[in-house]
Chain A
């Protein structure tokens, strides 16, 4: 059996875990990251690729601002821009009620420094002539953007390893224990490949599996599997610079300069026991219909590939982020509920600050795990 003694152990090699590892190393803190599969290959690697604040929950906006600052300096930080582009984001309304809802949210977002411009249908069509009849207007956030999700996790992992983090892929944590002073993690079910990691601090960045880790420390964070489905077309003439979403979130579209149109909608099928989500064909049909309704010319493109992936969604659709309420030295960062991609580089920096200094750079108390346990008690 191999044994590693370190300061911080990280469970989960998604973008959150890998960014945490890098930012810990930038602070000189030793760390070991344990990933059950490959880094950045689960929800981190197969999501839509939106980097937006437009329409985002207010509780996440300070974290988004912190993360955007990291997105902008990725070439210097991790050696690649991960195809991050500031293209702006349009959130589309398909009814006047949607418009009113977005206008109210835009006003609330302004207090967080997020500039959102409301566009009537005429104003929208003057800028982007390609929308279908059902679109009645939009909220426009020009500072938002998009990136290639497949590149981000692996790039953070490589940068973290280069900075001295120990990263172990294909290493599943079988048990976690604490003696009050630190944590002991046992990995690998094969006698020849057993690994024990001892650490003073434990970061739970286990994504869709994060609540299971929390349960081991008596903390409750109800979560369900969520399996968004995506479609990509062959390369087409580039016409769609901004990333698109809609009120209700049932369809989202972007195009990369290479020409491929990527859109999502509907849900696949999976349980947490499975390593992979499967695509539900009827949901793909629904996504195609919804995308064509938004932008009729998408009907002319050929679909070349579909995929799904899974993610954990919490009861209030907000992530769990912050120190444990039961166990000193344990920090949670999981359950990003389908919108963690934009946040996760920044979340890694926040976790590293929490682990190293006990203080986060931005307010995160609204995302404390205690909110579920308080509710559970109140419900009794």
Chain B
């Protein structure tokens, strides 16, 4: 897991484990614009094929081959530019980690160490880290790195922030029955 991120599990064509759900682009994993195009086309072909529509299998093979090449390139990038997890222990306590809520590295460490937060949702509940306008899109990986470093556990042991709707802030005045598809306000994780 070179990216040290939680990624959705999809097959090579973008099928998620839930039937009828397909992922492409940065929502599946960050691979750049060229890969996003390929994965979009592949996911569309997978969806069509699964729906009983005849699709061009040689096109699918071509797309898969091109995508495999980009996957290798991405893996090489990850090796060349690894997440600098080794610098985390030296990070000054005063460094702001959650910019929306102005929560510092010291506060995250304190939650993990003094307040007994062994898991990232607990850290959020106790400190507000990840509770601001961006809903942890920017800070979640850094909170996880700090907690893992402080608790001396692998990064996956501190868990993943539960997704909560809406994904982006929504003006309350715009929320009217019928005006917004109800699913946009549903639980996302």
List A residues at the B interface (Cβ < 8 Å). Answer: 38, 41, 45, 150-151, 154, 158, 233-234, 278-279, 281-282, 284-285, 288-289, 291-292, 298-307
List B residues at the A interface (Cβ < 8 Å). Answer: 115-116, 119, 122, 125-126, 131-133, 135, 164-166, 169-173, 175-177, 180, 182-187
Beyond known contacts A150-B126, A154-B115, A299-B171: 16 more, CB 8 A cutoff: A45-B125, A150-B125, A154-B125, A154-B126, A158-B115, A234-B169, A278-B187, A284-B185, A285-B182, A301-B171, A301-B172, A302-B172, A303-B166, A303-B171, A304-B169, A306-B185
Minimum Cβ distance to chain A for residue B169 (Å): 4
Q: Can you list 28 pairs linking A and B with CB atoms under 8 Å apart? A: A41-B122, A41-B125, A151-B125, A154-B116, A279-B185, A279-B186, A281-B182, A282-B177, A284-B165, A285-B175, A285-B185, A291-B172, A298-B172, A299-B171, A299-B172, A301-B171, A301-B172, A302-B171, A303-B166, A304-B132, A304-B133, A304-B135, A304-B169, A305-B131, A305-B135, A305-B164, A305-B166, A306-B165
Minimum Cβ distance to chain B for residue A63 (Å): 26
The 3 closest A-B pairs by CB, nearest first: A299-B173, A302-B169, A281-B182
| B contact patch SS | loop
- In the assembled complex, which residues on chain B have CB atoms less than 8 Å from the CB atom of A307? 164
* B175–A288 CB distance below 8 A: yes
* B115–A234 CB distance below 8 A: no
Minimum Cβ distance to chain A for residue B101 (Å): 8
Complexed CA–CA distance, A281 and B164 (Å): 12
| A contact patch SS | helix
- Closest chain B residue, CB of each to CB of A286: B177
Q: Which of B166, B173, B176 contacts A306 (CB 8 A)?
A: B166
Complexed CA–CA distance, A300 and B173 (Å): 6
Complexed CA–CA distance, A298 and B122 (Å): 29
- Closest chain B residue, CB of each to CB of A280: B186
* A285–B169 CB distance below 8 A: no
- In the assembled complex, which residues on chain A have CB atoms less than 8 Å from the CB atom of B166? 303-306
* B172–A292 CB distance below 8 A: yes
- In the assembled complex, which residues on chain B have CB atoms less than 8 Å from the CB atom of A298? 172
- Closest chain B residue, CB of each to CB of A292: B172
Q: Which of A150, A154, A292 contacts B173 (CB 8 A)?
A: A292
Minimum Cβ distance to chain B for residue A275 (Å): 11
- In the assembled complex, which residues on chain B have CB atoms less than 8 Å from the CB atom of A281? 165, 182-186
Minimum Cβ distance to chain A for residue B56 (Å): 38
* A306–B164 CB distance below 8 A: yes
Minimum Cβ distance to chain A for residue B163 (Å): 10
* B116–A303 CB distance below 8 A: no
- Closest chain A residue, CB of each to CB of B180: A285
* A303–B175 CB distance below 8 A: yes
- In the assembled complex, which residues on chain B have CB atoms less than 8 Å from the CB atom of A306? 164-166, 185
- In the assembled complex, which residues on chain A have CB atoms less than 8 Å from the CB atom of B164? 305-307
Minimum Cβ distance to chain B for residue A126 (Å): 27
Minimum Cβ distance to chain A for residue B184 (Å): 7
* B171–A300 CB distance below 8 A: yes
* A303–B170 CB distance below 8 A: yes
* A233–B172 CB distance below 8 A: yes
Complexed CA–CA distance, A154 and B121 (Å): 13
- Closest chain B residue, CB of each to CB of A307: B164
Minimum Cβ distance to chain A for residue B110 (Å): 13
- In the assembled complex, which residues on chain A have CB atoms less than 8 Å from the CB atom of B172? 233, 288, 291-292, 298-303
- In the assembled complex, which residues on chain B have CB atoms less than 8 Å from the CB atom of A45? 125
- Closest chain A residue, CB of each to CB of B164: A305
- In the assembled complex, which residues on chain B have CB atoms less than 8 Å from the CB atom of A279? 165, 185-187
Complexed CA–CA distance, A358 and B15 (Å): 61
Interface centre among A234, A291, A300, A305 (most CB of B within 10 A): A305
Complexed CA–CA distance, A38 and B115 (Å): 13
